[in-house]
Amino acid sequence: MENPVDNRLAELERRIAALESTTHAPQQPSPPDDDALEALAGREDWSRWATSLAALGNPVRLTLLREIVRGNNTVSALSAVEGLGTSGQIYHHLRQLTAEGWLHSPSRGIFALPPTRVVALLEILVALER
């Protein structure tokens, strides 16, 4: 049985590899296809994503996510990273990310990116590189 997350991740990896191998000037973006525009138009309440996206709109929180993905998944390890602030400030940001589903705590004192959010975060970051 095919896993849709694995398929999406494989497609993203293919696209990233293609982007990284490009050595010429960036091309003009192609217009979105009708299916993509129709999918966007069909979504009624976009505001429900505001708090989730806002949680990513803080440089410290993005740094926390990056460090947690890299294996610095405790407050002690995160406190050693330059620019993240005090342990109290780190906990504040971790609570925000956890409340919006960008992090979870699989065991006491350990933070991780939920598997269901890996592709979404990668898609957001790749889209913003354009």
CATH of 58-130, one of 3.30.230.10, 1.10.10.10, 1.20.58.100, 1.10.1060.10: 1.10.10.10
Tokens standing for 52?
């989730």
Instruction: Give the model's pLDDT for residue 72.
Output: 96
Measured between its terminal Cα atoms, the distance across the chain in Å is 33
Q: Is the pTM of this model over 0.75?
A: no
Please give the chain's pLDDT, 130 residues, in tens.
Answer: 566 667 777 787 888 777 776 655 555 666 777 887 888 888 888 998 999 999 999 999 999 999 999 999 999 999 999 999 999 999 999 999 999 999 999 999 999 999 999 999 999 999 898 7
